């Protein structure tokens, strides 16, 4: 089974605890978690950190987490500013950008 988490406009340190709870609940009942980040307009590095932790958690549980579509807009800009697109690991490129680094 899969769970789709539709992310709200704000994914910041203020929403981190609720997001973590959503992720844990989704992994408890599903083999795949899909994050729909289309509405995300305000995002900070706490979101990226939480997603990296969720990816590690999923791997330990032999489950999958992925983005519904490649990172774009504010999320893609944050990843670039944070240095996540410089010499990126292929697995990270696949996760965040579905393999195609934005130009």
- Whether residue 24 contacts residue 54, with contact meaning beta carbons closer than 8 Å, is answered with no
64-80 confidence digits (pLDDT tens): 999 999 999 999 999 99
HSE, CB side, 13 Å, CA atoms: give it for residue 84.
21
4-54 confidence digits (pLDDT tens): 999 999 999 999 999 999 999 999 999 999 999 999 999 999 999 999 999
pTM summary value: 0.95
Non-local (6+) Cβ contacts of 59 within 8 A are: none
Amino acid 88: pLDDT:
86
Q: How far apart are CA 98 and CA 58, in angstroms?
A: 18
Q: What is the dihedral of CA 66, 57, 40, 77, to 10 degrees?
A: -80
Amino acid 45: pLDDT:
97
Amino acid 65: pLDDT:
99
Amino acid 101: pLDDT:
79
Domains detected in the chain: 2-97 (3.30.750.24)
């Amino acid at each position: 089974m899969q769970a789709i988490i539709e992310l709200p406009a704000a994914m910041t340190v203020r929403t981190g605890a609720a997001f973590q709870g959503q992720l844990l609940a989704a992994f408890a009942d599903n083999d795949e978690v899909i994050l729909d980040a289309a509405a995300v307009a305000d995002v900070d590095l706490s979101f990226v950190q939480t997603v990296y932790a969720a990816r590690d958690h999923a791997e330990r549980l032999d489950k999958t987490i992925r983005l519904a579509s490649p990172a774009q807009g504010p999320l893609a800009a944050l990843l670039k500013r944070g240095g996540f697109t410089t010499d990126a690991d292929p697995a990270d490129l696949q996760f965040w950008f579905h393999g195609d680094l934005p130009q």
